Amino acid sequence: MNALRGILATLLSLVAEPDLSHVAVAFDHVIESFRNQLYAGYKTGDGVDPDLLAQFHPAERATAALGIVAWPMVEFEADDALAAAAFRWRDAPGVEQVVICSPDKDLSQCVVGTRVICRDRRRAIDRDAAGVVARFGVAPESIPDWLALVGDSADGYPGIPGWGEKSAAAVLARHLHVEAIPDEPSRWGVDVRGRDRLAAALRERRDEALLYKRLATLRTDVPLAEELADLEWRGARRAELEPLCREIGAPELLERVRRWRAA
């Protein structure tokens, strides 16, 4: 139950932050998604420790007990839900800022100026649009293209042979998207080490690169049932949280609840 205790502790810390008003948590209810149909090598649940896997669904229960909206994803992935929520509500009246709490590289594509940012809470790092450029060398809109070239071992696709972070950043900073990169490297307009070799690899595997880009592109059309008002955090649900904390042997977590939802 250590993972479940951990998620409860970190979510209690999150809702204690003074500027938080609305919150939701997305889960990979099943690890596979529509992307597995597109690419056989995409990540699956194979190799996940059974003791950890057994805590996935209880984690959703724990989140709901804290009074937090939970989005259990089946066809889509958790990151798609976060991307859809950020897209839907970033310009909603009364919303000052959307903070996506995840260190995942692919979520950087959701960043918009300082209005939508990514936060690595463990490392205490916020990444706005300027921060995305500083970290990856490309703007948020080019993150799927960058991942397509470089690859993402966490999601199971390899990228294009020879392409690394620096070469991908240099070329995409000029051309923005994989589709716009000319076959002929003399037309790239940037000096990249080994560009003839890189250009040959991309010519041979451009279809693969476009597939990887599709895998890396988060969906903003995920059907989320809630309205923004439903995400307002009003406190934990005592009748659900107290027995859960006793069940997992962590009653001390109840002392950290700063607000209980009115019955």
DSSP assignment of 25-56, as one string? Answer: EEEESSS--THHHH-TTS--STT--HHHHTTH
- Mark whether 115 and 178 lie in a shared domain: yes
- Mark whether 135 and 47 lie in a shared domain: no
Residue 263: pLDDT band with limits 50, 70, 90 = low
- 166-201 pLDDT tens trace: 999 999 999 999 999 999 999 999 999 999 999 999
Inter-axis angle of helices 206-216 and 143-150, nearest 10: 130
Q: For the whole model, what pTM was predicted? A: 0.94
Residue 31: pLDDT band with limits 50, 70, 90 = confident
Domain of residue 145 covers 96-219
Per the structure, how many domains does the chain have? 2
- Mark whether 23 and 134 lie in a shared domain: no
- 77-86 pLDDT tens trace: 999 999 999 9
Question: Which residue type does 44 have?
Answer: T
Among positive and negative, which fits the CA dihedral 61, 94, 123, 154? positive
- Mark whether 152 and 176 lie in a shared domain: yes
- Mark whether 240 and 211 lie in a shared domain: no
- Whether the CB-CB separation of 248 and 3 falls below 8 Å is answered with no
- Mark whether 118 and 196 lie in a shared domain: yes
- 110-150 pLDDT tens trace: 999 999 999 999 999 999 999 999 999 999 999 999 999 99
- Mark whether 30 and 52 lie in a shared domain: yes
